[in-house]
Structure 1
Amino acid sequence: MKKSHSKRYNLNMLSCALAACLLMAAPTAFAQSTSATLRGQVAAGSTITVTNVETGLRRTAQGGATGSYTIPGLPPGTYRVEGGSGGTRDITLAVGQVATVNLGQAAPAIPADGVTTLDRVVASAEFVPETKTSEVATYVTAKQIEMLPQNSRNFLAFADTVPGMLFTDNGSESRIRSGAQGANNINVFIDGVGQKNYVTPGGITGQDDSPGNPFPQSAIGEFKVITSNYKAEYDQISSAAITAVTRSGSNDFKGAVFWDRYTEAWRKPTPDEEVAGSKTEEKYEQFGAWVGGAIIKDRLHYFLSYEGKDIIRPVSIEPPAQVNLANLPESIRSEFGATSRPFKSDLYFGKLSFQASDDHLIEFSARRREELNLSGIGGTGARSYATDIPNKETRLDLRSVYSAQDWMNDAHITYESAGYNPSPVENGTSARYVVINPTNPGSASNPNLLTVLNTGSGPSFQDKSQKGWAIQDDFTWFGIDGHTIKAGFKYKKIDLKAFQQFPPFPRYWYDINESMTLPFRVEYTSPRSGRDPFVSTGNTQVGIYIQDDWEVTDKLMVNMGIRWDVEDNPSYTDRVLDPTIAAALRNWTNIQNTDYDIEDYIGNGSNRSNDKNNFAPRLGFSYDLTGDQRHVIFGGAGRAYDRTIFDYMAREFYGGAFTTYTINFRTPLHPCTGTACIAFNPALATPEGLAAYAAANPVAGGEIQLLNNDFKTPYSDQYSLGMRNRVELWGQDWNTSVTLQHIRSRDNFYMHLGSRRPDGSFHQYEAQGQTWGGSPFIAVPGYGNLILGDNGFAFNQNSLLLSIDKPYTDSSPWGVGIAYTYTDGEENRPNASEGETYLFDYASVRDQFYTSTGVPKHRLVLTGIYSPGWDLTFSSKLVLQAPTPIFAVNNTLSPANGTCTPITGAANCGALNSFYDPVMPVYDIGYKQFDLAAEKRFQLPGDFAFKLRADVLNVFNWRNWNQFDTGWGPAGGPVNPNVGVVNGNNIDGPTRTFKLSVRLEW
């Protein structure tokens, strides 16, 4: 049934009207998502004043009729609180924190000597932990960022210490994920502004195919990680929210210069290097500087930061395990072995903060990221096969901040530009050298080929980007006693672009056992007439929300909110399928009587609409059992909508836009047949000859990729129940938290085969009960295969999150953190959480769920910081996690026609759950790493200090293997006795590495 959209509303007009209404309703203050709020009880009518001891920022409030007060919009930092009958109190507030301080009580005693000096205030200020939030949230402090062992200077790596989070860095890219969902589903908010990647995977911009950092670590003050049940102000997210605040300048002129480094001489050899007998050149340097101060004391401050990386990372070029290296020609053997690939990055950040009055703050920040990154080297890719992946990003943020007695408002105008543009380092042809698999040769007409080496031009050319501006506003009202009501909107106008061509240059195939000069095949692409591979669209996003934090009693807090989002994507809604293709589909008898209606996928320009049903209610509570914030039960339930990556939506355009020509050349070992089988012609080794062949052999049609006309936005439903405690142990306050969490993610994007057999069936032996495999790659007459895009991938997650924390303070200079996560995760397509978006073994996604890949069932992270005096500080981090399930099809107990049934030990056609390492037989631990760091501070004349630091990563040189035999065996058995056994030299994480850092600060 066709839909009618004759009255489609104008999204631009609606969003502009909403923006105008809200802007007229409120002037401009810090968003609650990044700033702190101070609240509590004082004598009725008393005046409370808080002053930031570093910047001079000053806020006042008055106790209401019941004695309650609220001071919002406080940037994280150290404050002096004065007023009420509690005298003076110095406190430290964290990012996004709601701290409760009752000033009717006597404040802790402050030493009389030097009490007014800023140094004493900063040193003696107490941290007031937040316990009454319903969010499943954990803070990462500036001290942890500064002191814990690390290698990458990526501030997201410290989220790894939070229960439920997992940070990975495999040398090619670094990503952060939460639970059973993948990295695509997170969002990072910096100063209240989301950093979402709209075009490519990775969650935030710059996380796709890059080991670089999204932000200079020296510019991050601290951040909070919310793994579920965030409030309504958070958008474009369905797993974890990371909200960070950037540093600002202060009245004091401060700065630092740093440099850290290690080389191959400072680490143990990798397994590949042990085999080779020598180490490969490696260099890892990180360097930078930051400076901040006052242009006008208490009024205008600046902060500047730069960080760079210069990395030469070792990789290994090696043939498949089935190939005997001694049987290969010397010209091929010489390409194998340990090598390296370079990476360089530059990160710039600048910020101006103008305190126009006690109530009005204006900020402007700018960030620039530039990277040079070579990928494709390693495995079977020679150095010449490299692809250059430049990563460039620019973001600007202008904020105007206004705070009053009963309300506050935060307004942003932002601009962003980010591009993803891989291209071959070498232009020209490429060569793929293969052999017939000696252990499974296949047939003479269809040999099973193993790729041994790729040389020449790289396989990828892409041009994908997002660029545009946004305005967002958050207005908070405190005028009703016991209520904090917050409402806001966001309007964003972004230009999205996508293009790709695989391969961009001809690829010639050579059988090493036949000829190194005479190819038996060539593959190349040519633009197909009538199919435009370039797609760009003006994307418009609108979001509105309202929420209320209701203090029902002095013990019970209830959080209620709802948000609504809509995204206008004209490339989808206005899509008109080529009438010729539409006619071919409607006339194809194979799909006339099958399990779907092709009309649901044929766009005519008026039968598609944006998903306007994205209403996300969120409800939470906290109950303070004893009224002193020491024992608090909390919980919540809510829905969160994410978005579908534009690169997936763009497949309608560039899927099938290029003709891929495959010409087989008749040779003794490859006696091909058919129209694309000819004798080798030297002219076909030239661009002119290939173009002439394409002109003489035009290929109409091509693959057809279509999206459902009723496409929905992916979302997750989140439920949590937990308890926080502050307990005294050994004379110190410890914070504990235990949370049960359930998350159900639905409507995630996937693509499946629309092609069917002549009788409309999918499986060849469907009548005999076949349910898996035997996919019908049958071309639409005049075209290629039909592939359909739908909603359907789903994830379920049950988690136990446990944390125990004793904070580091100047008065108690040691800190301990314990974070344990138990995750029972499942997905209805193995590898979906790892980024897989295609499902070809079934007609469509099924209700059967499999163990989630990439998520260990058990994970324990222990951290510690200790300062014994003498300006020495020691820190450590231990990570232990269970084996991570990986995708491995198991059909050994299935008949040859591929029926999929559960078996003991693993889900049939599902994930491989357990591994055995014959070198280091540890059955319970899949990943283990212990790091140490030590720092010595030397005071220099004046205000200068010199710091010398040493980090030792993977102290015990544990090997974390990541290459396993995943072949269970043929259909019907027998089972491969080596399934799950290590069968390669690849490892995750570093070998034991010594890293030296020096730092000059003032």
Structure 2
Amino acid sequence: MGYRNRSNRSPQRRLLSCALASCLVLGIAPLALAQSTGATIRGQVAGDAAARVTATNIATGLTRSVQSGANGSYSLGGLPPGTYRLDVERGGERYSESITVSIGQTATLNLGEAVEASSVQPATTLDGVVVTAAPVAIETRTSEVGGYVTQKQLEALPQNSRNFLAFADTIPGIAVTRSGVDEVTSLRSGAQVSNGINVYIDGVGQKDYVLKGGVTGQDSTAGNPFPQLAVGEYKVITSNYKAEYDQLSSAAITAVTKSGTNEFEGSFFWDYSNQDWMARTPRQRRGDVVQDRSAEQYGASFGGPIVKDLLHFFVTYEGKDILRPRDVTPGPSGRNVPIEQLPPSVQDLIRNSTSSPFSEDLWFGKLSWTPGDAHLVEFTIKDRKEDDLVNIGNQNTADYGTTRAGKDTRYDLRYQYSAQNWLNDAHITYEDASFGPRPITSGPGFNYQIPAQGQGGNNNPAMQTVLNFGGGTDMQDKGQKGFAFQNDFTFFGWEGHTIKAGIKYKKIDISAYQRLPPNPQYRFDIARSFEIPYEVNFTSTGIGTMGPVESDNTQFGIYFQDDWEVNEHLTLNLGLRWDYEQTPSFEDHVTPTSLVDALRAYGPINNPNVDYNYNDFISTGNNRKAFKDAWQPRVGFSYDLFGDQRHVIFGGAGRAYSRNQFDFMAREQYSLAFQSYTYRFNTPGHDCSSQAATCLTWDPSYYDQASLDALVATNPNNGTTVYMIDNDIKTPYSDQFSLGMRNAFGMFGHDWNSSVTLLHILSHDGILFSVGNRLEDGSFFPPGRSFGSAPPANLPGFGRLLIGRNAVETRLTSLLLSLDKPYTRESGWGTTLAYTYSDAKENRNNHDTFSFDYPNLDNVAFTESLGVAKHRLVATGIMDIGWGMTLSGKLTLATPEARDSLDCISIDTWNCYFNPYYADTTIGYKQLDLAIQKEWDTGTDLKFRIRADLINAFDWNNWVGWDGSRGAGRNPTDATSVAVPNPNFGNRQLNNTSRYDIAYPTRTFKITFGLNW
């Protein structure tokens, strides 16, 4: 069909076009999951006559053509990021210009106009035609809040983990943390924790439906979710993303993978560091044992043409091996127990050195086929396997550890078709991800404990752990597996409009198995006896269904987006999406009759004074419905003040729904399928006679699992914690508002970009499990009290009752500032500055899903969000210093993060409350990383490089051992007592070993060898 002048279309014809477009969406692409990875090049062709514009990818030969309108406007969408030559043909004449575009970018290039000399890069060639490419232009006319991480930054900036997400904090609004001795990398944006994030690889979401961490491969692991060698570049959007983004409530990260080109290219790297190249920690400097630690990472990539301009391949592998030393230190922090006071058989477990090894294998492969100008077919495979040994060190001996195996395999078959004025992008995907911790020892676990300070003479005192050994406590098997068929349809046929629509359908099996503890745990008060335990905690092997909680899961979503360029100044982004999800294991769950009877017979919650209705938590199998109200309007605007993309005011508002983790939703079935029991033994100092149902006289036969099973065989629910979830549970979401301005300007002879953005984000409906037990009169607290642990009355025949409801909320007001000068070969340098101010509040500390101290959060005050710094600055720089050498650096500075603290001083001990504090220091975190690389050109296609990274170059100590105790509250039974504040509150600890605890890493030197060809 020939091109028709858009301006001559009648209203009836436009309506017909709209109907046809809708049919295409519903017919061609009935199943969709699409995110913006392709770039768009648009603009005006100088002159009066229509022209044909053809974009050719310099590296792969992929071509796309479009006929310009009578006014010279053109638009080429769905382009893989890269450098393109644009050929303009009109009236027998032909001329070319070039541009480099980034992931998801909409770039404006007016053809036929002069290209400024300062924007021209070194020439590349395509079949002998010389092409000069304008550098990547920052997209200014968008309402989205975010920025780009380029391939140059991935290659040049210093790094330690090779987790590509670790560079996301170069964009304001993102914080990257590498926590604790297990070196787990996590991301968060604003006041929300990592669960609200989603990462999209080549347009496919990597959401973890079962576990925390936001995406698969990021929960409790030192590994990486994706090989860095395979990442071309990525975009970080912290707020007001368009309607195509789903299953998130905070930041979106969308990455594009590398493809093979018309040249055979490859690379290899190996980097290494060990204990001798790492500065000692403050603990080690004061005499603690220094054990061998090493970290080795290695990988290779290779790609090229199978058939030039037609079929290309790319494959990469990355491996990681870490050996982490672990010190076993008996005793709670500040009360270390001398080894000599423990039995000789146990002393050997402590004296023998131990370590925590980690290993990971990451594979990625890609085939790209372009059978014609309008077609692109891609097939990708990602495979991740890792093994980790954790829960070792401090009070845990080596045999008490847990081995964690993680797997993640994903396949993606993609077909993209480009027509004159529309584009269709379809995916068929398959995923199989699992997480399976197991104890390394099968058998009884032994917990040596001592009474807490000040309670040694009490009966049934609070206890603190001295040492754990024997069989560990963690056995899980959780995962997701299934298919999706997804598509994205874009229509360019209406002047000034880019219409995008899609439908999502996904069918996946999710499962969760959790047996805690799989080995019985025997607890000893070693102040009294090493031979007779005072308590045992165990799960039965003979009760209930011990398989996983499983469910098929159906996801459906639809969205519509119109990016409307009203005129050369104003652009509107108007979007709406709707998501729906079915999880039959929750919706069809039937509350057991025995539990229903117990609830009805439980007097306290049948009292008219009780603050909730337990009937709202009883499921009959047909009174729960999937959540249907996930409507998400997303609107934004950008106003280009002078129509030259250099000074743009932007803003927007939108709603975004995340999802409820299956691990939370399955808990009411866990509590019945994997029941945990605690029995007390009537021993000196631990009298349990008042709890006759669970009080025993010690007998060595209780070391036998069969004897423990016999205890609960006749009454399997006795003492069991019961979880129940609101039948009308909702999906968590956030409302996002932003207003800002971007500027592109010249300074010191170079092009710079800046932005300032004011954000306001409110998140709602996070799930919370609180105590459902009540006192006889239906109240939660005893008279005169407004804080404390659960009331003592158990659910008859069971134990503690926990009810899950929507309750957790956050509030964020944030100021984001960025300034960057992009790296170019001509200048030889680039820099970025990202500053974030955050006023973050939450009504539940650190998004915790449990609350035992309040009946609900209705009257709980919003406090400072834990783990969020008020001020955060991340600065990077890259500079070519000659002789084939590149110097780079990354500086991170942050004020102290809010830390948890219980306040029993301000009021009294009957009315304590959570009151976070900031450590008494100006800088809470500081780290400067440096890297220098030298590359030798051998005169052939082979290049050799050597690189040195110095992480935390100045060995700054980022202290974590702060004194969060506000002091002792008054004795509520003594009217003459007074509160005694702690004069050291907010400062470093004074008299225990935690005074010397720091956040990792210390100064670390890492060497890398590499080859490129």
**TM-score, length basis structure 1:** 0.93
* Distance across 2 between alignment mates of 1:508 and 1:703: 19
**CA 1:215–1:941 in structure 2 vs 1: closer, same or farther (change >3 Å)?**
same
Counterpart-to-counterpart distance in 1, 2:497 and 2:893: 43
Residues 714-763 of structure 1, C-alpha deviation per residue, up to 9 Å, x if partnerless? 11000000000011110101000100000000011111111111111111
1:843 to 843, 848, 855: 855
Partner of 1:690: 708
Residue of structure 1 equivalent to 2:777:
759
**Residues 475-494 of structure 1: per-residue CA shift (max 9 Å, x gap):** 00000000000000110001
1:695–1:613 CA distance, 2 compared to 1 (3 A): closer
Match in the other structure for 1:591: 605
Deviation at 1:980, TM superposition (A): 2.6
Q: 2:554 aligns with which of 540, 543, 555?
A: 540
1:76-123 CA-to-partner distances (Å, cap 9, x unmatched) read: 011112227994222111011100001141234699997646899788
Structure-2 change in CA distance of 1:150 and 1:387 (3 Å)? same
- The 8 Å contact of residues 125 and 131 in structure 2, kept in 1 or not, is answered as no
1:991 alignment partner, SS class: coil
**Structure 1 partner of 2:12:** none
Q: 2:101 aligns with which of 93, 98, 104?
A: 93
Distance 1:132 1:936, change over 3 A: same
Please report how far the alpha carbon of residue 27 of structure 1 lies from its aligned counterpart in structure 2 after TM superposition.
11
8 Å Cα contact 1:29-1:402 kept in structure 2 = no
Amino acid at match of 1:591: I
The Cα shift of 1:694 comes to 3.9
Q: Give the AA of the match of 1:473.
A: N
Q: CA deviation at 1:206?
A: 1.2
Conservation of the 8 A alpha-carbon contact between 1:233 and 1:545: yes
Question: What secondary structure sits across from 2:788 in the alignment?
Answer: coil
Q: Contact 2:32–2:486 (CA<8 Å) still a contact in 1?
A: no
Q: 1:802 to 1:84 in 2, by over 3 A?
A: farther
**Secondary structure in 2 matching 1:158:** helix
The answer on whether the counterparts of 1:38 and 1:100 sit within 8 Å (CA) in structure 2 is yes
Local SS of the residue matching 1:37: strand
- Name 1:816's counterpart in structure 2: 831
The answer to whether the Cα contact below 8 Å between 2:227 and 2:318 also exists between their aligned partners in 1 is yes
The answer to whether the aligner puts 1:982 opposite 2:1007 as a matched pair is no
SS across alignment from 1:880: strand
Matches within 5 A, 1:94-173: 94-108=102-116, 116=125, 124-170=133-179, 171-172=181-182, 173=184
Q: 1:663 aligns with which of 679, 682, 692?
A: 679
Structure-2 residue corresponding to 1:865: 878
* Matches for 1:272-351 after TM superposition, within 5 Å: 272-276=283-287, 278-318=289-329, 319-326=331-338, 329=341, 331=344, 335-336=349-350, 339-351=354-366
The answer to whether the 8 Å contact 2:97/2:133 transfers is: no
| Residue in 2 that maps onto 1:466 | 480
C-alpha contact 1:87 1:106 (8 A) present in aligned 2? no
Partner of 2:198: 187
Aligned mate of 1:558, from 569, 572, 580? 572
User: Any idea what SS the aligned residue of 1:379 has?
Assistant: coil
Larger CA deviation: 53-62 vs 974-983: 974-983
Task: Return the match for 1:512 from 521, 526, 550.
Answer: 526
Give 1:648's match in structure 2, choosing from 664, 668, 675: 664
Q: Does the 8 A contact of 2:40 with 2:79 survive in 1? A: yes
The 1-side partners of 2:824 and 2:781 are apart by 65
Q: CA deviation at 1:656?
A: 4.1
TM-score, normalised by the number of residues in structure 2: 0.92
User: Which residues of 2 match residues 219-298 of structure 1 at below 5 A?
Assistant: 219-276=230-287, 278-298=289-309
Question: Offset of 1:970 from its aligned partner?
Answer: 2.9
Aligned to 1:890: 903
Residue 355 (1) aligns with residue 373 (2): no
Decide whether the 8 Å contact of 1:440 with 1:448 is kept in 2: no
| CA gap 1:209/1:760 in 2 versus in 1, 3 angstroms | same
**Residues 433 and 866 of structure 1, relative CA distance in 2, 3 Å threshold:** same
The superposition leaves residues 870-915 of structure 1 with CA deviations (integer Å, 9 ceiling, x where unpaired) of 11100001100010112111121223322x5xxxxxxx52212x22
8 Å Cα contact 1:965/1:980 also seen in 2 = yes
1:197 has 2:235 as partner? no
How far the C-alpha of 1:21 sits from its partner, in A, is 7.0
User: Structure 2 CA distance, aligned partners of 1:119 and 1:586?
Assistant: 84
Aligned counterparts of 1:19 and 1:672: Cα–Cα separation in 2? 70
Q: Using the alignment, how far apart are the partners of 1:407 and 1:181 within structure 2?
A: 38
Contact 1:459 1:503 in 2 (8 A): yes
Q: Which shows bigger deviation, 802-811 or 987-996?
A: 987-996
CA deviation string 1:532-570 (max 9, x = no partner): 773111100000000100000111000001000000111
Cross-structure match for 1:915: 919
> Match for residue 711 of structure 1?
729
Distance 2:408 2:674 in 1: 29
Give secondary structure in 2 for the equivalent of 1:221.
strand
CA gap 1:598/1:119 in 2 versus in 1, 3 angstroms: farther
Output aligned runs, 1:330-729, within 5 Å. Answer: 331=344, 335-336=349-350, 339-437=354-452, 439-441=453-455, 444-526=458-540, 529=543, 534-592=548-606, 593=608, 594-673=610-689, 674-675=691-692, 676-695=694-713, 699-700=717-718, 702-729=720-747
Give the unaligned 5+ runs of structure 1: 1-17, 901-907, 917-922
* Worse-superposed segment, 812-821 or 335-344: 335-344
Instruction: Count residues in correspondence.
Output: 963
The equivalent residue for 1:942 is 940
Whether the 8 Å CA contact 1:366–1:396 is kept in 2: the answer is yes
Partner Cα distance (1:153, 1:997) in 2: 12
Shift of 1:976: 1.8
- Worse overlay, 392-401 or 18-27: 18-27
Cα distance in 2 between the residues matched to 1:115 and 1:334: 66
Distance, in Å, in 1 between the alignment partners of 2:602 and 2:298 is 62
Return the offset for 1:126: 2.1
What percent of counterpart residues are identical? 49
- Shift of the 277–657 alpha-carbon distance from structure 1 to 2, 3 Å rule, reads closer
Q: Indicate if the aligned counterparts of 2:289 and 2:327 stay in contact, CA closer than 8 A.
A: no
Give the aligned partner of residue 9 of structure 1. Answer: none
> Where does residue 750 of structure 2 map in the other structure?
732
Contact 1:273–1:280 (CA under 8 A) maintained in structure 2 = no
Instruction: Give SS of 1:325's match.
Output: coil
> Contact 2:151–2:232 (CA<8 Å) still a contact in 1?
yes
Match of 1:35?
Answer: 38
2:888 pairs, out of 859, 863, 875, with: 875
CA 1:583–1:701 in structure 2 vs 1: closer, same or farther (change >3 Å)?
farther
Equivalent residue, structure 2, for 1:8:
none
- The residue type paired with residue 234 of structure 1 is Y
Q: CA, structure 1 residues 26+909, in 2 after alignment: closer, same or farther (shift >3 Å)?
A: closer
Deviation for aligned residue 1:698: 5.3
Query: How many Å separate the matches in 2 of 1:539 and 1:434?
Result: 44
DSSP 3-state at the match of 1:647: helix
CA contact (8 A) 1:398 1:413 kept: yes
Change (3 A) 1:297 1:776: same
Distance of 1:856 and 1:121 partners within structure 2: 50
Whether contact under 8 Å (1:643, 1:713) holds in the other structure is yes
**CA distance in 1: counterparts of 2:715 and 2:598, whole angstroms:** 21
Say which is worse superposed, 691-700 or 970-979, in terms of deviation.
691-700
Give the corresponding residue for 1:51.
56
Q: Which residue of 2 aligns with 1:77?
A: 82
Contact 1:608 1:710 in 2 (8 A): yes
Equivalent residue letter for 1:547: Q
